[in-house]
Structure 1
Amino acid sequence: MRGGGDRPPAAPAWDLVTVPSRQGLEAVDILRLRTGVGPVLHDVSGDTLGFLVPEGTAAGWDLPGSACAQTHGRVRRSTGEPPVAGTRWLVPPGQGNPVNDPILLRLALGEAARTIEAADGIQAADGR
């Protein structure tokens, strides 16, 4: 096969938005219920979730409590293996959107943060 036709096709290039696991899990639920979620990584230690977003998102990402790393044109291959060492797929590619929409992700992360803040406030008021 000419041109490496036996390799899986390239998936879209991406950047990675990283957030604390609790906020990320809330955001995944919000996105699943509303618009659909793209690929999400969960680090092995369980501390963070990483949302794959379109390449170039990092240049304008400024949401407090999160970080967005550039991939410098790195392309994810559709092999099923997570593209970042020490992670596993929470939402694998092919089970939703090809990447997460950064605007919808920002809204979901904001809503998730408010939900967590409200829940923590209720627990504090109850003396838990």
Structure 2
Amino acid sequence: METSQSNEPCTSPLPPTSGDTVCDLVTVPARQGLEAVDILRRGAAEAVGPVLHDDDRDTLGFLVPAGTAAGWDVPGSTCTETDGRGMRLAPEPPVAGADWLLPPGDDADLATDPAVLREALGEAARLIEAADRCR
């Protein structure tokens, strides 16, 4: 699945303050991301952390633990480092033009496990490919 992804940072341009979360952001096409959210939620509701929907680019962004970008190699997706600038997890989305699909909660572990996300994205890609072949 070919997609054009931006390498723009996923964080607020403001300097970090207390309450910032250091994380990376895995960005995928919205269709694949929505399938992955469904897969993750069927497994366990706590398996998926906050998810951003970028209306302008039609993508979803999954918050994952910092350092994930260094080893991320899932085709059709990008993983962007926050470069230590912190992301504010407030009711307002931290990126202009985006909305929370799944807003941050009060849980201590706010990020989606990258190994679980990798599996869900792979399954989602296979489901989409099978559905497209049936058309």
Equivalent of 1:56 in 62, 67, 76: 67
Deviations 1:49-69, CA, capped at 9 Å, x for gaps: 000101110011011100000
Identical aligned residues as a percent: 64
Does the Cα contact within 8 Å between 1:12 and 1:54 map onto a contact in 2?
A: no
Q: Distance in 1 between matches of 2:61 and 2:106?
A: 16
Q: Paired residue for 1:17?
A: 26
- Aligned-residue offset at 1:110: 0.1
Note closer, same or farther for the CA distance 1:116–1:53 as it changes in structure 2 (3 Å cut).
same
**Unaligned stretches of 5+ in structure 1?**
1-7, 124-128
SS in 1 for 2:112: coil
Structure of larger gyration radius: 1
Does the Cα contact within 8 Å between 1:9 and 1:77 map onto a contact in 2?
A: no
Q: Distance in 1 between matches of 2:72 and 2:23?
A: 13
Deviations 1:80-124, CA, capped at 9 Å, x for gaps: 11112211000000077511110000000000000000111111x
- Aligned-residue offset at 1:79: 2.3
Paired AA for residue 12 in structure 1 = T
Paired AA for residue 105 in structure 1 = L
Following TM superposition, the consecutive aligned residue runs of length 4 or more in structure 1 with deviations greater than 3 angstroms are none
Q: Does 1:27 align with 2:4?
A: no
- Aligned-residue offset at 1:9: 5.4
SS in 2 for 1:119: helix
RMSD over equivalenced CA pairs, Å? 1.8
What TM-score does the superposition give when structure 1 sets the normalisation length?
0.83
Q: Distance in 2 between matches of 1:34 and 1:84?
A: 28
SS in 2 for 1:51: strand
What TM-score does the superposition give when structure 2 sets the normalisation length?
0.79
Does the Cα contact within 8 Å between 1:14 and 1:74 map onto a contact in 2?
A: no
SS in 2 for 1:28: helix
